Amino acid sequence: MARYLDNIKIITLCGGQPIGPQIGSLEHGAHIVVGTPGRLSDHLRKQTLQLDRLNMLVLDEADRMLDMGFEEDIRSIIGATPATRQTLLFSATYPEQIESISAAYQYDPVRVSIDTQHDDSTIDQKVWYCDSKHKAAAVAALLQHFAPEAAIIFCNTKQGCNEMADALRDYDLKSLSLHGDLEQRERDQVLIRFSNGSSRYLLATDVAARGLDIDAVDMVINADLPQDPAVYTHRVGRTGRAGRQGMAICLCGERDKHRLQRIEALQTQPITAIDDVPAATPEHNPAPAEMTTLCIAGGRKDKLRAGDILGALTRAGGIDGKQIGKIDITDHACYVAVHRRIAADALEQLKQGKIKGRAFRARRI
């Protein structure tokens, strides 16, 4: 909620957190406040946040905030800031609403645009024509056939994510879901487990997946084609990063063909149809994720560092360091990825041992 970086106090204000502790943190001021539009508006109404001395306002993911219905909140927040502030606006797309906000609240702005076209040699883009009622079977077949180490499956709605997760479970394919209804703690855990290799498959909506920075994604599946063809570009951009090869596959029904045509219009070459893929069966599933995640009930607030966790697991002839993966530390928790086969031993060692001379609760997620 409140943290320091080189003596700079940063406060995070999110709707998924209790407002009481946030009010307490704000009483002593801050150098930087990062927040969602709804929660910032809550604090302005309660007069627990004062913006009259603000120097710089940053509107990040502005197009998504408008899509989520936050235009009124954005305008009220801007209205509480001094006219002399500097305003930075970041947006993946530039619809009329964004242009209107820019014209109203930015003085003589400099516009910087970045080309978002993908390198066709890096991302292999395919389409599989199938009926909408067979989408889950198609996704399962793709995951079994290509066996990606990590795949993101995009659905247009939270309900679509949940239904797809249930359907994949029937094929014994376990996945994580990322959508706008998750609290921040839940969202953090999902992203940590996917990025550290504890889960192969992530189901996500566009709202939740914005801003993901995970390099090692082998495949993106568009279970639902987006209405906005520019969104497709951002989805596909989750794979083929850092010099790696990636694959992006669209599922397209009869009613989706007009969306596919609009997407193809943005590409340098047509998206080619995929060859037949064998039907999915539970017997042909890839091996489960290599890693599993252990959670320790202590974090930055307890002065814990990655080296402390590594030492607690490897000292006194304990776990081999090569069997320990990524370690993520939040304010109140540490997450460590360990090889699945030694997870029980690692958990027992954390429970029975101490970290920096203290005992911490630990559990397997």
Tens-level pLDDT at each residue, the chain (365 residues): 566 666 788 988 887 678 888 999 899 889 999 998 889 999 999 999 999 999 999 998 887 777 667 888 899 999 999 999 999 998 877 777 788 888 888 888 888 877 555 555 688 999 999 988 899 999 999 999 999 999 999 999 999 999 999 999 999 999 999 987 888 788 889 999 999 999 999 999 987 666 676 778 999 999 999 988 888 888 888 888 777 889 999 999 999 999 999 999 888 777 899 977 888 887 788 888 999 999 999 998 899 999 999 988 987 667 888 899 999 998 899 999 999 999 999 999 999 888 988 999 999 99
Spell 148-183 as b/e; 16+ CB within 10 A means b: bebbbbbbbebebbebbbeebeebebebbbbbeebe
Tell me, yes or no, whether 223 and 88 share the same domain. Answer: no
Tell me, yes or no, whether 160 and 235 share the same domain. Answer: yes
Residue 27 belongs to some domain of the structure: yes
Tell me, yes or no, whether 136 and 270 share the same domain. Answer: yes
Dihedral sign for Cα atoms in the order 278, 279, 284, 289: positive
Domain's final residue, options 260, 284, 308: 284
- The CB density around residue 344, as the number of other CB atoms within 10 Å, is 12
Tell me, yes or no, whether 296 and 198 share the same domain. Answer: no
Tell me, yes or no, whether 31 and 75 share the same domain. Answer: yes
Tell me, yes or no, whether 255 and 319 share the same domain. Answer: no
Residue 118 belongs to some domain of the structure: no
Tell me, yes or no, whether 145 and 254 share the same domain. Answer: yes
What does the pLDDT read at residue 289? 92
pTM: 0.74
Which residue has tokens 């989706």? Answer: 256
Residue 42 belongs to some domain of the structure: yes
Residue 47 belongs to some domain of the structure: yes
Residue 112 belongs to some domain of the structure: no
Q: What is the extent of the structural domain holding 333?
A: 291-364
Total number of domains constituting the chain:
3
What does the pLDDT read at residue 335? 95
Tell me, yes or no, whether 297 and 218 share the same domain. Answer: no
Residue 180 belongs to some domain of the structure: yes
CATH number at residue 9: 3.40.50.300
What does the pLDDT read at residue 120? 56
Mark out the alpha helices in 80-228 (DSSP H runs).
96-105, 135-146, 158-170, 184-195, 206-209
Tell me, yes or no, whether 217 and 250 share the same domain. Answer: yes
Domain's final residue, options 105, 139, 169: 105
Tell me, yes or no, whether 172 and 253 share the same domain. Answer: yes
**324 alpha-carbon distance from chain centroid:** 23
Residue 295 belongs to some domain of the structure: yes
Residue 328 belongs to some domain of the structure: yes
Tell me, yes or no, whether 275 and 354 share the same domain. Answer: no
220, 146 in Cβ contact below 8 A? no
Tell me, yes or no, whether 262 and 137 share the same domain. Answer: yes
Domain's final residue, options 251, 268, 284: 284
What does the pLDDT read at residue 292? 96
CATH number at residue 349: 3.30.70.330
